[in-house]
Amino acid sequence: MPYQHVHLEGTAQTDSVDPDLHAAIKQATPQQKKHVFTIKHGDRQLVVKYPEDKRGYFKAFGERLYFSLLTNHNIPISAFQLKPPKERTHFEAARISELKKLNINVPEVVAVTADYIVLEHCGTRLEDFIRYGYASANKIERLVCNAAEQLAHMHSNQAWHGAPQVRNIMILDNGNVAFIDFEENLEGLPHLMRETYDILQFIGALIVPRYDSQPLIDLTEAAVERYIAIRGPEPLLQLKTYYKYLSTAKKLIKPFGSRVGRDATRIIVLCEMLESLLKREGVL
Ligand SMILES: Nc1ncnc2c1ncn2[C@@H]1O[C@H](COP(=O)(O)OP(=O)(O)O)[C@@H](O)[C@H]1O
Ligand SMILES: [Mg+2]
């Protein structure tokens, strides 16, 4: 069904939403517990997302400091500040259309206003595939490697994701990989740093998932290999300084053995993976 575009009173000129859909969203919103929820409209399953005002100055400052230290580059704080909520929906819509041009699977933008963005519902989180074993181990490895290839494809074309953790990667009903969640604004970073930021988010979330699980070292290494085959190792080589911090932290943590928590386990396994990678690439 084609959507009729209307300009809503009091919102930006570019806002576009079908009036029936807008009414349905306004009616459904008060009952929602989360800022992202699904809604059925006609025969379509849609996702409504309201921007959360979730990152203050100090969080952005902390991220800037952390990423500047780990890459050894002085990075402006603007690179870690989200757009104000009223601009973020249009920002996300623009990012989606930019990636669509590169043939990356992204949800169709059904409507966008200054208050919310509406996307077509697309698939199941890759994180849930891994967590609940929705596919065989071989199939999951193919999916993860495919996501890594698509990330490398974005990077090779001067594009980036901003938050490519497995919770923001979807598996469509036809088995293809798609990406969601484009609120991060890395515009202020040099492209190589965006790539480094992305690949670190990707492998950091994959190697030790958010739920209790053994570290997924082989799976992460397979994904890194696929990424490097397309993009080359440069974005990962920027993590040499990060590796050095990790290895100091690892020495402090390791004596506590299996009693360490998930974040500490992530430090240990990421450190070991980066060490063998950096050695293989001849930079250690
Ligand atoms: N287009 C979509 N199709 C299916 N599920 C989605 C879609 N967009 C978001 N979701 C679900 O909502 C969750 C939160 O949305 P996301 O865009 O990642 O926002 P947040 O900034 O809160 O992480 C996702 O992890 C996913 O489970
Ligand atoms: Mg998300």
131 and 206 in contact (C-beta within 8 Å)? no
> Higher confidence at residue 14 or residue 114?
114
Half-sphere exposure of 224 toward its Cβ, with a 13 Å CA cutoff? 28
Mutate to test the pocket of ligand 1, among 39, 180, 201 (most ligand atoms within 8 A of CB): 180
Identify any residues that bridge with 111 across adjacent strands, giving them in sequence order: 118
CA of 146 to the centre of ligand 1 (A): 20
Residues 6+ apart with CB under 8 A from 95: 162, 182
CB count, 10 Å around CB of 76? 11
Local confidence band at 258 (pLDDT 50, 70, 90 cut-offs): low
Q: Residue for token digits 């009693």? A: 259
Rounded to 10 deg, the angle between the 191-207 and 262-280 helix axes is: 130
Residue 250 CA to chain centroid, in angstroms?
A: 26
Alpha helix ranges (H) inside 29-180:
57-71, 85-100, 126-132, 137-156
Task: Answer for the pair 249, 205: CB distance below 8 angstroms, yes or no.
Answer: no
Compute the average pLDDT of residues 71-85: 85
Q: Convert the pLDDT of each residue in 154-188 to its tens digit.
A: 999 999 999 999 999 999 999 999 999 999 999 98
**Could you list which residues have their CB under 5 Å from ion ligand 2?**
168, 181
Determine if ligand 1 sits within 6 Å of the CB of residue 183. yes
Q: Could you tell me if residue 185 is left (phi over 0), alpha (psi between -120 and 50 degrees) or otherwise beta? A: beta
Residues 115-132 pLDDT 10s: 999 999 999 999 999 999
Please write the tens of the pLDDT for every residue from 217-256. Answer: 999 999 999 999 999 999 999 999 999 999 998 898 878 7
Which residue has the CA at smallest separation from atom 11 of ligand 1? Answer: 36
- CA–CA distance, 104 with 90 (Å, rounded to integer): 19
Domains of the chain: 19-238 (1.10.510.10)
92 lines ligand 1 (CB under 6 A): no
**Cβ 107 under 6 angstroms from ligand 1:** yes
Residue 3 binned pLDDT confidence (cut-offs 50, 70, 90):
very low
Q: Number of C-alpha atoms within 13 angstroms, CB side, residue 151? A: 35
Q: Which residues contact 268 (CB under 8 A, 6 or more apart)?
A: 250, 253, 254, 260
Ligand 1 nearest atom to the CA of residue 123, by list position: 4
Percentage of residues in the chain having pLDDT higher than 90: 70
Q: For the purposes of burial, counting CB atoms within 10 Å of the CB of 11, is it exposed (0-12), middle (13-18) or buried (19 or more)?
A: middle
Q: Does residue 51 line the site of ligand 1, with CB under 6 A?
A: no
